């Protein structure tokens, strides 16, 4: 389900401008293979935001085939990216893509459960806080039931002025439209936990946040002090 009018999305995507021809081909191949990569509207938004923020150290939770990580690295030639994923069928594809692209040299790919990987990073940080490379941009696009756990851990690993963007936050409108609910119990749990995460973010007085209908929904977060 498209969370906005299909004609509006079609109109917006008429102005989509790929970063370059290589990324255009990468997107087309991923879409042909039905790989869930960032939507065109989301990519366009991220392009503007990242050019403004110019982060040096990016944390991505949810790699898929590596499209967004390579997009980040290609857009920001000075940045380094740490990305993670647990999907057994996608990990080999992502590894192959990172090896094939020159930008892959600036991408560290960790495999396994994201929460476990984040906990490993926290242990690294706590063992030597002065040497740890803190993140100044975090992109969350993984298991929808765990956004709160992802954010809380990523927050500890990030600089005070870091920018956090959570993708697919409206979950194809399941979050707001009862008629769109999948009858499966697991999906209902994901919807419930995503709503709890959004409420948690907006209840925190030390955070500024904005919820947007861009793509499949984005939540942008930053500390306000």
Angle at 94 between CA 91 and CA 97, to 5 degrees: 150
What pLDDT was estimated at residue 178? Answer: 59
Distance CA 112, CA 115 (A): 9
- The contacts of residue 24 (CB under 8 Å, 6+ apart) are 18
The domain limits of the chain are 6-223
pTM given for the model:
0.92
CATH superfamily of 6-223: Vaccinia Virus protein VP39 (3.40.50.150)
Burial 170-203 (b: 16+ CB within 10 A, else e): bbebbbeeeeeeeeeeeeeebbebbeebbeebee
Per-residue pLDDT of the chain (225 residues; tens, 9 = 90+): 566 678 888 898 899 999 999 999 999 999 999 888 999 999 999 999 999 999 999 999 999 999 999 999 999 999 999 999 999 999 999 999 999 999 999 999 999 999 999 999 999 999 999 999 999 999 999 988 999 999 999 999 999 999 999 999 987 767 776 555 555 555 778 888 999 999 999 999 999 999 998 878 999 999 997
**Collapsing DSSP states into helix, strand and coil, what is residue 35?**
coil
């Amino acid at each position: 389900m498209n969370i906005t009018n299909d004609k509006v999305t079609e109109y917006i995507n008429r102005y989509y401008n790929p970063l370059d021809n290589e990324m255009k081909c990468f997107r087309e191949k991923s879409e042909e293979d039905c790989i869930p990569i960032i939507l065109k509207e989301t990519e366009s938004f991220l392009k503007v935001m990242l050019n403004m923020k110019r982060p040096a150290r990016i944390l991505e939770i949810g790699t898929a085939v590596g499209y967004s990580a390579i997009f980040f690295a290609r857009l920001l030639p000075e940045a380094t990216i740490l990305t993670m994923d647990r999907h057994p069928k996608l990990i080999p594809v992502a590894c192959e893509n990172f090896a094939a692209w020159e930008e892959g040299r600036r991408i560290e790919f960790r495999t396994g459960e994201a929460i476990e990987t984040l906990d490993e990073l926290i242990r690294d940080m706590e063992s030597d806080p002065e040497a740890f490379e803190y993140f100044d941009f975090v992109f969350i696009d993984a298991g929808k039931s765990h956004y709160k756990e992802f954010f809380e851990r990523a927050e500890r690993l990030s600089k005070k002025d870091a920018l956090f963007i959570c993708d697919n936050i409206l979950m194809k409108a399941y979050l707001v439209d009862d008629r769109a609910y999948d009858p499966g119990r697991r999906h209902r749990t994901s919807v419930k936990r995503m709503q709890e995460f959004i409420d948690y973010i907006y209840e925190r007085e030390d955070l500024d946040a904005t919820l947007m209908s861009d793509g499949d929904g984005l939540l942008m977060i930053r500390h306000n002090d």
